[in-house]
Amino acid sequence: MFDILMFLFDSYFDVGSYPDSNKLSIKLTAAGFEEEDIHLALSWLSGLRQLGLAEYPDAINQSGFRIFGDLEKCRISHEGIQFICFLESNKFICPVEREMIIDRALALGRENLSTDKIKMIALMVLWNQHEDLDPMLIEDLLTPTDPTRIH
């Protein structure tokens, strides 16, 4: 599924958005992606499209410290959680965007998501918000993680 997300970002970043699900399914099939992966990606993207800043209480932006629950710690690697905290503490993302990233990570249903997977999720969340993305942030999110570098 992450290959599909990368394909979407590469193909549609300059356009600003990707096509609707039906057109996207046809394009992904033509690009050679498996039907099951396409279905999972489209379902995940549908959940992402439903997320918006208005869906979260404004109090999240005034909260102090985020404690990650057991399920979140199971689904997101320790390094992935550190990376999310790094993004927020350096003001690359706001608390609501942090929650969106966590929501989309949990929606995958996988355990121990790596930092690289969290980077891709963060990129998709920010792109979905139609924000002007800092080129340095895009580069960092697209660059594979160096295990010797700690955020």
At 98-111, the pLDDT tens digits run: 999 999 999 999 99
Taking the complete model, does pTM exceed 0.85, yes or no? no
pLDDT, mean over the chain = 85
Q: Which of 31-45, 50-64, 136-150 has the lowest mean pLDDT?
A: 136-150
Q: What is the 3-state secondary structure (H, E, C) of 109-137?
A: CCCCECHHHHHHHHHHHHHHCCCCCCHHH
pLDDT level of residue 57 (50, 70, 90 thresholds): confident
CB atoms within 10 A of CB 145: 17
At 9-43, the pLDDT tens digits run: 888 877 667 788 889 899 999 999 999 999 999 99
Q: What is the DSSP letter of 104?
A: H
